[in-house]
Structure 1
Amino acid sequence: METPDLSFQRRLLNEALTVVAAPAQVQTAWLEKHGVVTDEIALDFDHAFRMAEGLVEEGFLSRDALPELRLIDSIFDGMSCDESTDRWTAAALISDVGWIRARVLAQQVLAREGVNASPLPDISVVR
């Protein structure tokens, strides 16, 4: 059985957190640059979050990060259950309580883990 590259998984989590942690104006510019919609930020986080437990078990992420990562996941889940589509607009990045809370939590995780939260990662979009 092939072992996953944990340093690669850690990089994916760091990149996803970096985008979540960025100021709203920077997030908006990033979305425009890559031609993706706002929910892509949450989707990238969701994919990376699924690897967090394994990263902790292997020593690539501190256990202290898990509660905040779970909160971010919970915030995005709650936003997805909300029937209002306004939460997934670029304008919501500035004023929505969920986005603001997720941003602060992501900043805290990055700071605790000693990760430089800039610049935002480039992504490749397959269309």
Structure 2
Amino acid sequence: MNPPGDAHLRTWTLRFMALLAAETQVQLAWLGERELDTGSVVEEVELLCRLSEGLAERGAFAPESLRDLRAIGRRLAGIDATGRAGLWADALATDPAWAEIRTPARRFLLTTPGDGRQPLPRPVDRHTGSH
């Protein structure tokens, strides 16, 4: 049996991958006027990639789905401190890493059982920090 939080983590991973898989214009529209740090996005995705290993062990993801998450994690690990500084909206337009991450994120969504048409994650309310 999967722990109760697995379904939530699986959904959050799928939604974040949907955001990473989206075209730059869609990502920027999702961001709107929010000022989201690139470093925060990198940390969140790295965490989801690590947590997905355990999710796969418990059956929430197929082991073969992890190939793309690992590729995303490796690419993110290659983003240096300079690339993690500043706003994600700026990095989306200038850092080729985000375009490179799009392909494995799309492949992950296509190979993961369930609805591959995940909605984008709800934006974080910058005043309360909640979703």
Instruction: Pick the TM interval, shorter chain.
Output: 0.7 to 0.9
Aligned residue pairs: how many?
124
How far apart are residue 10 of structure 1 and its match?
0.6
Query: Cα gap change, 1:85/1:121 in structure 2, threshold over 3 Å: closer, same or farther?
Result: closer
Counterpart of 1:122? 122
Structure 1 residues without counterparts, runs of 5 or longer: none
Residue 73 of structure 2 is matched in structure 1 by 73
Distance 1:35 1:96, change over 3 A: closer
Is 1:27 the counterpart of 2:27 in the alignment? yes
Deviations 1:10-53 (A, max 9, x none): 11111111111111111112222544234443232122222111
Please report how far the alpha carbon of residue 92 of structure 1 lies from its aligned counterpart in structure 2 after TM superposition.
Answer: 3.7
Give the structure 1 partner of residue 61 of structure 2.
61
**Shift of the alpha carbon at 1:67?**
1.8
Partner of 2:6 in structure 1? Answer: 6
Identity rate, percent: 27
Q: Distance in 2 between matches of 1:110 and 1:78?
A: 23
TM-score (norm 1): 0.79
Shift in alpha-carbon separation, 1:106–1:85, aligned structure 2, 3 A: closer
Give 5+ residue unaligned stretches, structure 2. none
